Structure 1
């Protein structure tokens, strides 16, 4: 079934002769003489290119793609220039029970579009089926969707990069910082009003100065590829704030541009690089905004539903390993090619420095589930362009066997939720967490020390965009998500948070002091542990979301950073942590520490200590009352001589009452220096003349010295 759209549209354009064109590259490519269009569809019967007026309103021509090389359809339109608005209509069977949902009446976004024009207008006409029909998605809707759909735009992405070079920050030096383009800049002092919420505002001098001050090396931008506001949110007067609802894997999100020009994104990256900061993109290649069988036909579904999506055995439904309705079929060679092409485009043309994969397990699934040697992961690792950039992943999805922490191959870095949960519970005061803390401080070796992986593979975090921010983690016992319109059912319930006696803001000085101390302890653990430290944007200034742990739809003061409440002492403390880690190579090693003797001096690279200085027994590790863990770190035992460091640190993590600790190997020739005390964060370095030191309750102390 596929009723033809009855519309009088020219099939030719004056002064724009058509020729066969080429099947590569896919998408719309301006070559100086015109534009080559090439799109993939394995099961289509016919594809038409629709060209629109400059304002995008009127369809000027409908041109058939008469050439087909394999499953790539193509045509060249002479004289066409960048800025041209276009879309596609695709003929084919409408047979949902066979996996096909072609509907020629629906105007489709080019899967390779480099820019989108206009705003999606939610309408029943966007659906391939008749809304409300007793036959549900098996029915067929013949209305034209063009009035509601977005247009693709021909782009010339050439840009004067000057002497731009990637910073190429070493894994050992990396400090990750998650930022939302709008949330970071909407209220930031010094950012011009016209630039707030835009790529250009994100790379303005106040942002760069702020990031440099706290030692950030790598900014992880929340989704910046084109995405859609979900229909259910629009009906409630809300928007998709986070952006995990992609519809264009090559196009920057238009709402972050002032002139809808891709040069704005390129300018942002160039400015970051000049400031010595890398840019990695949070990308959502696991699903699209088209949802399940009851979702709209916007692009992929209309081009070739059966090829682009993983379908259930009956062919009609969608595999939903992502929890949002559909899952892209990355095992299909042309879908895999699209993802690889997208990533290469962002690296080569837009100069980004890496990617963070949302629900990464979904991308690495084959027929039998997650496969660390499957097509997607193998393609990435062999690619001469993509194998050299930073690759970060969420090691889970919502499908069977979806939790794969530690299972991804080198060079992936993985978000370590065991670190997040264990560290939160330890500092909350939960019993029996000391042994767990030791594992996290040592880089979660059980998960990551295999197959040549590095200690930096573990991304150590206590907060991220989905969940409570740091200030809320110490201010609320439960989530407060009423504003999301889901009766507080959304968001995680197990936050491992602690309000310290009062739910929400308080003027009680004792509680405020305890909360500040807890935040310092959590942040210190992130920066002092082996692995890659990660900061959620805003945590360094005391940003609060008022207990909302799922601000995906809060494009307002709840979701934006509260710069007017900036905690200067906390900001200075985070900068100090960053400097401390940078100054001590022993805190940022690539090799794991296993208490093995070092070649240079026979000393173990790691000592665990009880407060009295003795090593813990298994009985001690099992004792739920043990709350004060000390560790002495040196360079890893297998460190090459040419990279050897004589740096030594001794750290005490005390989640109990004040206690006296015994410092190891005290001598007048090489005394210990106290370089950080979270109970007295503004104190400077202090030389310790005695072997015993009093560590305050609920605090972290760091000592350092240099050996000969």
Structure 2
């Protein structure tokens, strides 16, 4: 090693940390006998040195290489027992990625040599493979982050004022005609002025990006000629996925965040800390498994097998302090180095599962809430997984918001015309208080959505009654079979003007319901312009025109309607309250903060809430009695029945009609006697004395 010398180094920070004189390496393993640091040539093809990491502080192995600079390619080899039945799978023939790597060089090449065991052996994963895997594994790269200038603070939009837009970096930009070809599908493309202008016009306050932490394509998908398009297969928790970068380095991601912030748009990352891309006992040895399988993963069957609460083969063990530390270090890194504003946790129940089961006071939640960096960012949970007691909607602690699938299903069924859904709609319009109104949680804890990446798009929700997933190569067995969808008379795309008009109205009704409900709304990228996936409701492997939004066919009228809804919501505090509404009387005028009505103006009787004939629900909303008593009021009508006469409440001197989904271009106008509500429509009225403008 010409020009290099060794020193003991230090155990903190973990990973590769360069300074003026060299690079410090530190890696965790509680059960290894010893660990080697492996150095590679600039092209990553030849291993030039193996350095024994002789220093150990507790379970952290470390060494300092004097004279080394940023850009060096490296990996680890861990020596220890290969005893799968006891949970140990050490195999020094397998080059291992640094769990704290800030960058990778090269791509994963699927090969049997990546396996710690011999493929085809009668002993299965109990066998031992001696082939060197270095040729097939990307190399970790030493990155110098000292020169990175601090990013200015993000917009800091309150949750109550947020409109979240779930998007895929590539899917959103790949077919955008204005974005330069070389930037499509890249971070730079997502922050292109054409995309930002679209988001601003829609009223979006935050983009929630499908996974952008480093991930690999599953072997079974590669064998089919497919990719892991969604990215829920993370292996690099500290680095932006390289496939979305138009240029080398990490600056493009930071610039994307900065440009979005300049436009007032926050960046939320969908993160996957419930499992890794190493799969079950038949999966590859790429990093965590080879460094300390028994510490990083939750094991079963004496240690040979893996707990599979994620459905992908393994579950990270967040009850181990060093695994928890890695996750916390990763989250902080994305906030401090990349400027992100929040996180949506995939299968978040796994994050709170202790030895005895899910616990709202789990160590991970405690660590998050006391952390001075992470306690101030947006935290969103997908409140379920497939493990025992996996469905936990409403069970997460403040300040988490949670994806509300009850809102999704209830709104879908109401507008499909299912009988007896009026009471369900009422609960969802008030922020699902029965789930979230406890322990001081706000109404914004309900993350309301009707569509997301997993499931039908909005266009497909009104165009298909059954899924069309054959392209995924699983004989249409994958994806949800019950989507509460309706094709309104024809399966799939049609030229029938009557059906298309009905579909357009149904979409407007659904979107209006989403925007008028208490809670935090989220829309799926492409829904606002009519994007279809041809009925595929599980397009996780479709990195092609199935998922890439077709901007050339954008429904500009629908986008304008979504922008109108966002403006109405932003302009009326009553629609975006933190406090729940419980029909308590307000002190200033003695009226309840929520009044339910029938179309004739009378309160519904108790039995009517479940009467299949009760299909026109009206609600008068004011600021919550326990909150600031501002004089903002709306009257909203949700009608899945026929056209009928509508009696406006006499609680204000006069009303203005500001929204009618059957007339999307409606200009606000006075409303008086003789008002009717059209069939299958949403109407919104405001007090004329307040101006009546959205």
Considering the TM-score relative to the shorter chain, is it more than 0.5?
yes
The 5-angstrom pairing of residues 108-257 of structure 1 reads 108-158=96-146, 161=149, 164-257=152-245
Whether contact under 8 Å (1:159, 1:266) holds in the other structure is: no
Q: Could you tell me the TM-score, scaled by structure 2's length?
A: 0.98
Alpha-carbon offset, residue 611 of structure 1: 1.0
The 5-angstrom pairing of residues 323-472 of structure 1 reads 323-472=311-460
The 5-angstrom pairing of residues 636-651 of structure 1 reads 636-640=624-628, 644-651=629-636
- 1:72 and 2:60 correspond: yes
Alpha-carbon offset, residue 372 of structure 1: 0.3
1:12-70 alpha-carbon deviations (Å, 9 max, x no partner): x1111111111000001111211110000000001001111111111111111110000
SS in 2 for 1:73: strand
Whether contact under 8 Å (1:395, 1:403) holds in the other structure is: yes
Match of 1:575 among 547, 563, 566: 563
Alpha-carbon offset, residue 707 of structure 1: 6.0
Match of 1:559 among 525, 547, 563: 547
Whether contact under 8 Å (1:200, 1:264) holds in the other structure is: yes
Whether contact under 8 Å (2:151, 2:258) holds in the other structure is: no
- The residue that corresponds to 1:623 in the other structure is 611
Whether contact under 8 Å (1:157, 1:262) holds in the other structure is: no
- The residue that corresponds to 2:467 in the other structure is 479
Match of 2:481 among 493, 500, 514: 493
1:54-108 alpha-carbon deviations (Å, 9 max, x no partner): 1111111111111000000001111211111110000000000000000000000
Alpha-carbon offset, residue 158 of structure 1: 4.4
Whether contact under 8 Å (1:647, 1:706) holds in the other structure is: no
Report which stretch shifted further, 312-321 or 333-342.
312-321
Alpha-carbon offset, residue 706 of structure 1: 5.9
Q: Give the Cα–Cα distance (whole angstroms) in 1 for the partners of residues 145 and 527 of structure 2.
A: 35
Whether contact under 8 Å (1:666, 1:672) holds in the other structure is: no
Alpha-carbon offset, residue 258 of structure 1: 2.1
Q: Give the Cα–Cα distance (whole angstroms) in 2 for the partners of residues 41 and 705 of structure 1.
A: 65
- The residue that corresponds to 2:657 in the other structure is 674
Unpaired runs of at least 5, structure 1: 1-12
Q: Could you tell me the TM-score, scaled by structure 1's length?
A: 0.96
Whether contact under 8 Å (1:239, 1:555) holds in the other structure is: yes
**RMSD after superposition:** 1.0
- 1:699 and 2:681 correspond: yes
Q: Give the Cα–Cα distance (whole angstroms) in 1 for the partners of residues 179 and 149 of structure 2.
A: 24
Alpha-carbon offset, residue 259 of structure 1: 2.6
Match of 1:658 among 623, 627, 643: 643
SS in 1 for 2:414: helix
Alpha-carbon offset, residue 509 of structure 1: 0.7
1:556-583 alpha-carbon deviations (Å, 9 max, x no partner): 0001111111000000000000000000
Q: Give the Cα–Cα distance (whole angstroms) in 1 for the partners of residues 609 and 209 of structure 2.
A: 40
- Size of the aligned set, in residue pairs, is 690
SS in 1 for 2:299: coil
Q: Give the Cα–Cα distance (whole angstroms) in 2 for the partners of residues 578 and 159 of structure 1.
A: 40
Q: Give the Cα–Cα distance (whole angstroms) in 2 for the partners of residues 695 and 157 of structure 1.
A: 60
Match of 1:532 among 520, 538, 541: 520
Whether contact under 8 Å (1:159, 1:263) holds in the other structure is: no
SS in 1 for 2:425: helix
Whether contact under 8 Å (1:646, 1:707) holds in the other structure is: no
- 1:285 and 2:268 correspond: no
- The residue that corresponds to 2:506 in the other structure is 518
SS in 1 for 2:91: coil
Alpha-carbon offset, residue 264 of structure 1: 1.1
SS in 2 for 1:314: helix
Whether contact under 8 Å (1:157, 1:263) holds in the other structure is: no
SS in 2 for 1:624: coil
Alpha-carbon offset, residue 192 of structure 1: 1.1
Whether contact under 8 Å (2:150, 2:337) holds in the other structure is: no
The 5-angstrom pairing of residues 2-21 of structure 1 reads 13-21=1-9
SS in 2 for 1:598: coil
